[in-house]
Amino acid sequence: MLKNLIENTASPWTMGDGTDSDVVLCTRIRLARNFAQYPFPLKQTETSGQAVLADLSAFCKDRNDLHFYDLHDVSPLEKRALVEKHYISPEHSKDDNHYRGLAVNDTGSVSIMINEEDHLRIQCFAPGLDLDDLWQNVNALDDDIESYFDYAFDERLGYLTCCPSNLGNGMRASVMMHLPGLTLTKRLGLLDQLSNFGMTVRGLFGEGSQSVGDLYQISNQSAIGQNEKDILTNLKSVTQQIIKEERNARNFLKEQNGLRLSDRIWRAYGTLSNARYMSSREALELISLVRLGYHLGYFTQLESAQVDQLYLMAQPGYLQVLYGHDMDEAARDVYRAEKLRATIG
């Protein structure tokens, strides 16, 4: 089942639909939780690390809709693809002496990282902008886990976490946005103001990652001293403001020089659907333009999900999983071009 989740052409952030999907690829809420009875992962022994895994494995069996995996049984390549699909963090894909586990549901809309920085990182995903439903889902799952286990919790501080930035409600909500309009109109500077609203901006793969393909993750900075609803309301309002600015930028580009814009977009499409050799970076740049074009009404022969799946084809790990073997960079560049053509053609 994990094999299927890794190999299929879908991922939580490339479903292609949902509310405001012209600008928002996906929404994610994750809760950081630790068990009261075990030392935190940083101080974990083999016994306590394995105990956490065993507890979660038992919980998954009980729930019946979650599948448990010990990541020591998953190949480095498959872990890389899991990162690219956003089921696990880059940190969680490391082959170190942590006792790393993963629980996922069939559709991939729920993923729990076990023994990452905290005992549990409970994540729920939804396509498009969908913070309210997502909050219901992750909250219900959290309540269910809490009905089985005692969380490390302090009356004054809230949920206890490894990193102080997660203390409190332990929640990070993030919205993956596609902002080619702001990029092309050189107005990305407005993202710098988000810190004034308690928000932070990250690249495609979270903390420390660069922005590629005009993709930006907007999320709350801190989890302490605010309740979840306030954070979500704030994030929703900030996101909607950015959506508005992005749409304005797209309209501006269309009106000011629609021809140049359509030329850039069609050339990107022509290159993606014909090249025989393509780096990940170039692919992401071209996909961004094609995605923009799709949401401007071009490429009516394509489906929204087909366009977003292109992002997966740009990823080195996922490509190698599809291929079934490790590949060097040159071989990947050829195979990537082939897969991009097949997806878009």
Applying CB under 8 A, the residues found at the interface with a copy of itself are 259-260, 262-263, 266-267, 269-277, 334, 337
State which residue, 81 or 184, has the beta carbon closest to a copy of itself: 184
Least Å distance, CB 318 to a copy of itself, is 22
Determine contact, residues 125/28, Cβ cutoff 8 Å. Answer: yes
Least Å distance, CB 186 to a copy of itself, is 21
Least Å distance, CB 270 to a copy of itself, is 3
Closest CA to 85 of 2, 8, 12, 7: 12
Number of other residues whose CB lies within 10 A of the CB of residue 56: 25
State which residue, 223 or 314, has the beta carbon closest to a copy of itself: 314
CA R_g for the chain: 20
Strand partners, 220: 199
CA distance 86 to 202: 14
State which residue, 72 or 260, has the beta carbon closest to a copy of itself: 260
Least Å distance, CB 264 to a copy of itself, is 9
State which residue, 31 or 275, has the beta carbon closest to a copy of itself: 275
Determine contact, residues 272/290, Cβ cutoff 8 Å. Answer: yes
Under DSSP, the state recorded for 324 is T
Least Å distance, CB 114 to a copy of itself, is 43
State which residue, 14 or 271, has the beta carbon closest to a copy of itself: 271
How would you label 235-262 residue by residue, b for 16+ Cβ within 10 Å and e otherwise?
Answer: bbebbeebbebbeebbeebeeeeeeebe
